[in-house]
């Protein structure tokens, strides 16, 4: 097993020189470097070493409660004691009050070191943001300090049997009980629906308070917690999965569960999107993390494994062979490029000047970065050959863990459809206009990218005029994502003009066919 090593230098380069985070009023380069480096040390020393063992052991359900793998509870306690759960939370509640851009770097490193543990821990910032935006003062005081301290972890309860991506089919109900509410129904695929890491679990539950025919307009968002609910929340099973074995994916039954309304009745989806949008960026970074990890493993192996001979007859390393170099280059390019795409979107989000652009970029980042992680892991397996197919070097786990990222938080086909419909039409196409402007900003006068942008604009016009854009959504989203990827690589190369390896990768990116298939 090749030990995990966080991509600290690459992350800082991307934030500083590609996304240009110094445009943010609260950006402190020294502080960012210190925090990211500190978490990298923690991830390499504490979180990463239990990743493979946790995957092998998995979670188990005993007497209706989930038992996490050995070492996970101790690792989480160290994580919480270090203040990492409250990185972006306001200082008034006990958090650090730091930039979400810094937190994104921490999230990427966390995912690369131990995706399963990150999954169970990662919804806390979104839960805090939801409470700050929609919760009452009492709800904020009751829950935010507990979430920050690690006493409480949180979940997002949307999916139901027969109501996956179609939230209008949700059947879990919320009914008034005096001044309170009661929830009844079933939720599936709930990450961390139960675990033995935290003393309590806060569930954010989307439930129907209106008529069935109201669709998503009849949905409201509720808070309920494990300790107060007792047996009114039951864990009926945990799923056996391809990957993320150490992250409990729970099926949950709510039986007259006491709950509190958060936000306005009937506007639950609006409140829930605070959680969902955070989760989609987080999933993008998970893809980046898997691409970086796969690249690191394959590069290390290929540089040490003697295989065949060079043209002059001297012994060759695996990395000396052209086809292997091709795969290593693609892995490296995907990791650097997808990270740059996410960082550009995150800095734009933090600046707040172009919200329509952020709305357009979010699904594009999610679909490209998730597929980049899968593709890089698959390439890594191929580079290592038979050893890649074994568990010994960890690439099989990287691929298995990465595979879900193209499915959860909105299947990539849905994000492709969003890009080709709402993304082009909302607010008169403001997001698409801003995207085109961004491509020009990133690419400068790079002919290949500007030519591709012109083709994209022509296709955009056809889709806006089309009665049914869905037929072309997949291919258009593929073009959109790869246009952004190529433009980001122009900025990467411009920021490192003396780096011959980067210049080579840029030429590879601009000349290669579309690298990611959605």
From the CB of residue 320, how many other CB atoms can be counted at a distance below 10 Å? 18
Name which of 329, 345, 366 is nearest 477 in CA terms.
366
E strand or H helix at 225: strand 219-225
CATH number for the segment(s) 8-152: 1.10.540.10
pLDDT at 514: 64
Strands 315-317 and 249-262: unpaired
Pick from 236, 149, 238: which is nearest to 198 by CA?
149
Domain regions of the chain by residue span: 8-152, 155-266, 412-517
Q: Compute CA distances 409 → 11, 129, 262, 412, 455, whole Å.
A: 24, 18, 21, 9, 30
Return the SS3 of 249. Answer: strand
CA distance 173 to 164: 16
Residues lower than pLDDT 50 in the chain: 518
Nearest alpha carbon to residue 283 among 166, 167, 422, 110: 110
Beta carbons of 285 and 291 less than 8 angstroms apart: no
Spatial neighbors of 75 by CB under 8 A, at least 6 apart, are 46, 47, 50, 114, 117
pLDDT for the residue 269 = 86
The catalytically annotated residue of 160, 409, 446, 498 is 409
Chosen CATH of 155-266 out of 2.40.110.10, 2.60.40.10, 3.30.200.20, 2.130.10.10: 2.40.110.10
Which among 398, 356, 410 is positioned nearest to 518, based on CA atoms? Answer: 410
Q: What is the pLDDT of residues 326-353, one digit of tens each?
A: 999 999 999 999 999 999 999 999 999 9
Question: Tell me, what's the pLDDT at 279?
Answer: 81
Confidence (pLDDT) at 317 = 87
* CA distances (Å), origin 474, targets 165, 396, 479: 17, 28, 9
Q: Is 108 noted as a catalytic residue in this protein?
A: no
Whole-number pLDDT of residue 99: 93
Residue 500: count other Cβ atoms within 10 Å of its Cβ: 8
């Amino acid at each position: 097993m090749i030990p995990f090593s966080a991509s600290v230098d690459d992350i800082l380069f991307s934030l500083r020189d590609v996304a240009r985070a110094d445009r943010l009023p609260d950006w402190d380069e020294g502080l960012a470097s210190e925090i990211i480096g500190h978490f990298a040390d923690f991830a390499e020393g504490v979180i990463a070493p239990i990743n493979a063992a946790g995957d092998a052991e998995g979670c188990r359900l005993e007497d209706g409660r989930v038992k996490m793998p050995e070492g996970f509870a101790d690792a989480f306690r160290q994580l919480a004691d270090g203040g990492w759960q409250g990185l972006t939370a306001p200082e008034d509640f006990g958090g650090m009050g730091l930039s979400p851009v810094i937190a994104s770097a921490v999230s990427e490193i966390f995912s690369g070191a131990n995706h399963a543990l990150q999954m169970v821990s990662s919804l806390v910032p979104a839960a805090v943001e939801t409470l700050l935006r929609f919760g009452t003062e009492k709800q904020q005081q009751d829950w935010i300090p507990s979430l920050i301290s690690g006493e409480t972890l949180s979940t997002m309860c949307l999916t139901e049997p027969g109501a996956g991506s179609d939230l209008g089919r949700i059947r879990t109900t919320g009914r008034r009980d005096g001044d309170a509410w009661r929830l009844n129904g079933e939720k599936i695929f709930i990450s961390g629906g139960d675990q033995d890491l935290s003393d309590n679990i806060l569930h954010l539950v989307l439930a129907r308070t209106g008529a069935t025919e109201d669709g998503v307009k009849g949905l409201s968002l509720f808070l309920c917690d494990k300790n107060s609910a007792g047996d009114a929340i039951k864990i009926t099973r945990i799923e056996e999965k391809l990957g993320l074995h150490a992250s409990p994916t729970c099926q949950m039954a709510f039986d007259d569960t006491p709950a509190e309304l958060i936000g306005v009745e009937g506007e639950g989806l609006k409140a829930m999107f605070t959680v969902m949008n955070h989760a989609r960026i987080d999933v993008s970074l998970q893809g980046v993390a898997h691409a970086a990890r796969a690249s690191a493993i394959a590069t290390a192996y290929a540089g040490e494994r003697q295989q065949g001979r060079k043209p002059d007859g001297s012994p060759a390393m695996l990395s000396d062979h052209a086809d292997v170099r091709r795969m290593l280059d693609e892995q490296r390019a995907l990791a650097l490029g997808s990270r740059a795409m996410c960082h550009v979107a995150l800095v734009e989000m933090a600046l707040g000047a172009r919200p329509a652009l952020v709305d357009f970029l979010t699904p594009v980042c999610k679909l490209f970065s998730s597929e980049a992680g899968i593709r890089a892991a698959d390439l890594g397996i191929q580079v290592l050959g038979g050893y890649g197919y074994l568990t010994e070097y960890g690439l099989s786990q990287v691929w298995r863990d990465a595979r879900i990222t193209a499915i959860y938080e909105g299947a990539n086909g849905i994000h492709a459809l969003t890009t080709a419909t709402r993304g082009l039409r909302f607010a008169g196409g403001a997001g698409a206009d801003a995207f085109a402007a961004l491509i020009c900003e990133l690419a400068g006068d790079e002919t290949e990218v500007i030519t591709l942008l012109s083709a994209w604009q022509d296709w955009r016009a056809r889709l806006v005029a089309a009665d049914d854009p869905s037929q072309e959504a997949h291919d258009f989203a593929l073009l959109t994502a790869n246009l952004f990827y190529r433009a980001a690589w122009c900025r990467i190369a411009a920021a490192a003009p003396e780096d011959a390896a980067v210049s080579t990768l840029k030429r590879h990116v601009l000349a290669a066919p579309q690298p990611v298939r959605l």
